[in-house]
Amino acid sequence: MDLSILGYQFMQNAILSAVLGGIACGTIGVFVVTMHMPFIGVCMSHAAFAGALLGLWLGFNPLLGAFGVSLASAAVIGPLADRGELSPETSVGVIFSLMLGLAFLFMGLMPGTKSGALELLWGSILTNTRSDVILLGIVAAVVVGLVFLFYKEFQATIFHRDMARSVGIPATVMLYGILFLTGATITASLRSIGGLLIFSLILNPAAAAYQLTYSMKRMFLLSAGFAVLSGLIGLLMSYLFNIPSGATIVITSSAIFGIATFFSPKRKVKPWQKKPLVEEKQ
Amino acid sequence: MSNTVINIENAVVSYREDIALRGVSLRVKSGEFVGIVGPNGAGKTTLLTIVNGLGKLIHGQVQVLGHHVTPGSGHFLRKKVGYVAQAQNIDPRMPMNVREVAMIGRYGLLGLLRRPGEHDWKIVDEMLELVGMTHLARRPIGHLSGGEQQRVAIARCLAQEPELFLLDEPTASLDWRAKTDILELVKLIHDSRHLTTLFVTHDLSSLPVACGRVVLMKEGLIWGEGSPEAALTDDNLSQLYDMPLSAVKARRKEAILI
């Protein structure tokens, strides 16, 4: 293969974006999957998309709009999710549809061509600039750094929020922290992957990792690894066949999930289930 | 009294439109084992949540281990208060093993930015041994039965080295054998450690024998209290659960047969 393409800055930016965005999305995905809140993430990514369009329409930085609106949606969803026993799906559904409605409204109100808006919808990692890469780098570093520093608090919050609270861990702060990081990750990846597709890069790699391990640490590593792999393979496909990168990245991540599910040890009889009970007790 | 570890004065707690506690006062001395009995919705769980600072008082005050329970002191106090809730639905695919779940009990004590060390793992392993779960220590938590998960919850609670032990229907939804085992374990822990224990249940057959005092609750109030023999009379139960006296007598007679 001709590797001279790696010499171009646009390709370097794209590769760095895939790696850094993959690390951030894969890490955030572990929370989304283990805490059973995929719908909340979908809602936040559409909120980010609506916010970015608001920015495009009114002429301020779309990423600022994306971050602001996705955090605002998290501020509404957070208390619903925190209530625990009550399923927040209905309320999140209402907010989700509102965000989609707002996105189309802003798109309709926008004068001139809609190419900028469509780019935010599909994403185009090949047009990422150095500043996009820097933003992704900062977000990836913050996400990974916080998970590393507060690993045990995050772990307890994932396991059971009420229980985490009862041992003196500020589970509510942790939950809002997770929502905040989700908003930041979605915002930073918006231009590369696109508002419609970004969520699958958060969900699929973590869902694949969830199929493969009973260790949370390994799940974080696998998930980030799968997300980076999806980004790189997707980028390669996009380049080779001249097809939209957002789509190839998301389809790759779905394929990885399919393979992981197929080989999942969680769907098979466990080694200890094969042993007779008497042996077990000794 | 210096050995009073819980002092609740005229506590009122309300969730939305419902009043969960309507003026409850209770004192518990160090080392006591208090059973809290009453029908569903009597405010038993709420009583526990104001002791560990998770419930919000709208009137009255609570002192626990010599500290006033306020929203600010809650975190600090919860590190000293072990809490076991009823069996939870845990995702069988949850990526955590039994040992890691028991270690969560020490997380609050350890504080931010500190990782569990050898000493912490030693305590966790001792507690898993005590509850008889050593042979399952490396298993994914979601693969355990309800009774086994409750034993792990008790181990987690003890790993916290608590000064107060709160149990909220720990045997609900467990089978008869698992229930008996948990009750014996709770008794063993109280007897060997003299840990002040509050045990909430709506089910009289789940009241441990170790229980020295019974508090009867109904409709957000303390309705009566006394020794188990004095409090749990047919008359009292008939009124507490709104059941005819004859039905209570028949039910209790059946219960003895089990």
Nearest-CA distance B175 → chain A (Å):
19
Identify all chain B residues contacting A220, using CB atoms and an 8 Å cutoff: none
pLDDT per residue over B153-191, tens digit each? 999 999 999 999 999 999 988 888 899 999 999 999 999
pLDDT surpassing 80 at residue A267: no
Domain presence at residue A214: yes
Antiparallel, parallel or unpaired: β B18-29 and B4-15: antiparallel
Domain presence at residue A282: no
Identify all chain A residues contacting B138, using CB atoms and an 8 Å cutoff: none
Q: Which CATH number do you get for residue A221?
A: 1.10.3470.10
Nearest-CA distance B161 → chain A (Å):
11
Q: Do A169 and B116 touch (CB under 8 A)?
A: no
Domain presence at residue A242: yes
pLDDT surpassing 80 at residue A32: yes
Confidence of residue A113 (pLDDT cuts 50, 70, 90): confident
Confidence of residue B29 (pLDDT cuts 50, 70, 90): very high
Q: Which of B88, B92, B115 sits opposite A160 (nearest CB)?
A: B88
Closest CA to A199 of A60, A53, A26, A36: A26
Confidence of residue A273 (pLDDT cuts 50, 70, 90): low
> How many distinct structural domains can be found in chain A?
1
pLDDT at A270: 64
In chain A, which residue's Cα lies nearest the Cα of B88?
Answer: A160
Give the integer Cα–Cα distance in Å for B78 and A162.
12
Identity of the highest mean pLDDT range in A1-15, B77-91, B150-164: B150-164
Are residues B139 and B97 in contact, defined by beta-carbon separation less than 8 angstroms? yes
pLDDT per residue over A192-204, tens digit each? 888 888 988 999 9
Domain presence at residue A273: no
Any CB–CB contact under 8 A between A267 and chain B?
no
**Structure-model confidence comparison of residues B256 and B93, the more confident one:** B93
Q: Do A280 and B135 touch (CB under 8 A)?
A: yes
DSSP A85: S
pLDDT at A132: 92
Give the integer Cα–Cα distance in Å for B179 and B147.
7
Any CB–CB contact under 8 A between A221 and chain B?
no
Any CB–CB contact under 8 A between A36 and chain B?
yes
pLDDT surpassing 70 at residue B84: yes
pLDDT surpassing 60 at residue A212: yes
pLDDT at A174: 94
pLDDT surpassing 70 at residue A277: no
Identify all chain A residues contacting B104, using CB atoms and an 8 Å cutoff: 152, 155-156, 159, 163-164, 167
pLDDT at A272: 61
**Structure-model confidence comparison of residues A152 and B251, the more confident one:** A152
pLDDT per residue over B199-258, tens digit each? 999 888 788 778 889 999 999 999 999 999 889 889 999 999 999 999 998 888 887 665
pLDDT per residue over A46-76, tens digit each? 999 999 999 999 999 999 999 999 999 988 8
- Average pLDDT of A256-281? 74
Are residues B90 and B64 in contact, defined by beta-carbon separation less than 8 angstroms? no
Domain presence at residue A155: yes
Identify all chain A residues contacting B107, using CB atoms and an 8 Å cutoff: 152-153, 156, 164, 167-169
Domain presence at residue A256: yes
Domain presence at residue A272: no
pLDDT at A275: 64
pLDDT surpassing 90 at residue A253: yes
- What value does the mean pLDDT of chain A take? 89
pLDDT surpassing 90 at residue A122: no
Question: Helix, strand, coil: what percent of chain A each, to 5?
Answer: 85, 0, 15
Identify all chain B residues contacting A160, using CB atoms and an 8 Å cutoff: 88, 90
Domain presence at residue A112: yes
In chain B, which residue's Cα lies nearest the Cα of A282?
Answer: B135
- Average pLDDT of A220-226? 98
Q: In which domain, by residue range, is A174 found?
A: 3-263
Confidence of residue A85 (pLDDT cuts 50, 70, 90): very low
Nearest-CA distance A137 → chain B (Å):
23
Least confident of A27-31, A263-267, B193-197: A263-267
pLDDT at B258: 54
In chain B, which residue's Cα lies nearest the Cα of A30?
Answer: B95
Identify all chain A residues contacting B94, using CB atoms and an 8 Å cutoff: 34, 159
Give the integer Cα–Cα distance in Å for B72 and B159.
24
Q: ipTM of the assembly?
A: 0.92
pLDDT at B101: 97
pLDDT per residue over B101-149, tens digit each? 999 999 999 999 899 999 999 999 999 999 999 999 999 999 999 999 9
